[in-house]
């Protein structure tokens, strides 16, 4: 059985490693250090950790100011609070001035589970995509999380890293480059374009489809912005049938980014799988992913249809 790890835990672990080699890295959290795993950084480097309490807007503005001193703030809380409650501060306080702040939010998507719809952020990718100059990364596993954090440090400007609560399989190592999709499996009939926790489900779905004689490509679109339009166009032309799969609303997320990219570029069969204009609800991650049509079983049915 493959090893599993939640990307939020991978984030917390790697923060400690990064902190050892770069004294400019500081961490800020909104009273959720146990859940975001920034508690590990707090324990290792207490003088570089700031618990800002349940005051996310203040936390983002503090990070903006500290970034002007040459520091690299990693700002963490749940995605629904980090991108929603502090949106205006991210827009005007960070991105407008191109400040070097890294927002890394956990508990994104309906796969968060039993916390329910109030805590399951299904709008965060849409909110961050629309901010000028914001880079948006959705890692699928531990390896991609670490590489995304390395890449974020190299980017001189705002970055949003979307992290999950639920554990996912650790994928075989593969190249990671911001703005360049990872083609995990080639195929020529159906293209599954996905990100984050649903990459696992798409790999399982592709295996099932292949067993039924349907050649299926799996494209891990870990960077939502900037989008790898070249790979999108290549597989749209090659497969002609495209399914986007995301643990997010189908409005404004990965699916809409792909749709905008291929609009007017030819005739394709295209469908977006994700939350269909509805909030999340309480349940296990597996139950919810099935209910919202982003598990392997439902992906297979949609691909065959």
**Candidates 17, 56, 88, 291; catalytic one:** 56
Catalytic: 154?
no
At 140, list the tokens. 């699928």
Catalytic machinery residues: 56
């Amino acid at each position: 059985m493959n090893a599993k790890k939640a990307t939020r835990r991978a984030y917390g672990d790697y923060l400690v490693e990064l902190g050892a080699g770069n004294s400019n890295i500081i961490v800020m959290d909104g009273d959720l250090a146990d859940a975001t795993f920034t508690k590990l950084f707090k324990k290792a480097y207490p003088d570089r950790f700031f618990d800002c309490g349940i005051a996310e807007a203040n936390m983002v503005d503090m990070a903006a100011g500290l970034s002007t001193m040459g520091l690299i703030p990693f700002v963490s809380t749940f995605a629904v609070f980090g991108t929603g409650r502090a949106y205006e501060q991210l827009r005007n306080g960070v991105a407008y001035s191109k400040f070097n702040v890294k927002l890394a939010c956990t508990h994104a998507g309906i796969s968060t589970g039993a916390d329910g719809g109030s805590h399951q952020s299904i709008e965060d990718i849409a909110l961050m995509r629309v901010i000028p100059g914001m880079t948006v990364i959705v890692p699928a596993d531990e390896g991609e999380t670490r590489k995304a954090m390395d890449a974020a440090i190299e980017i001189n400007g705002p970055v949003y890293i979307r992290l999950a609560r639920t554990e996912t399989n650790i994928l075989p190592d593969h190249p990671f480059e911001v703005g360049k999709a990872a083609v995990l499996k080639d195929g020529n009939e159906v293209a599954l374009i996905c990100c984050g926790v649903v990459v696992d489900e798409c790999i399982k779905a592709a295996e099932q489809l292949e067993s039924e004689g349907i050649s299926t490509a799996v494209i891990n679109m870990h960077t939502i912005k900037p989008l790898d339009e070249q790979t999108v166009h290549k597989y749209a032309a090659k497969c002609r049938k495209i399914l986007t799969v995301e643990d997010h609303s189908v409005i404004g997320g990965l699916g809409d980014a792909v749709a905008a990219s291929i609009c007017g570029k030819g005739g394709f069969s295209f469908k977006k799988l994700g939350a269909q204009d509805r909030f999340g609800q309480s349940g296990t991650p597996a139950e919810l992913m099935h209910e919202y049509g982003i598990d392997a079983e439902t992906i297979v049915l949609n691909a065959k249809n």
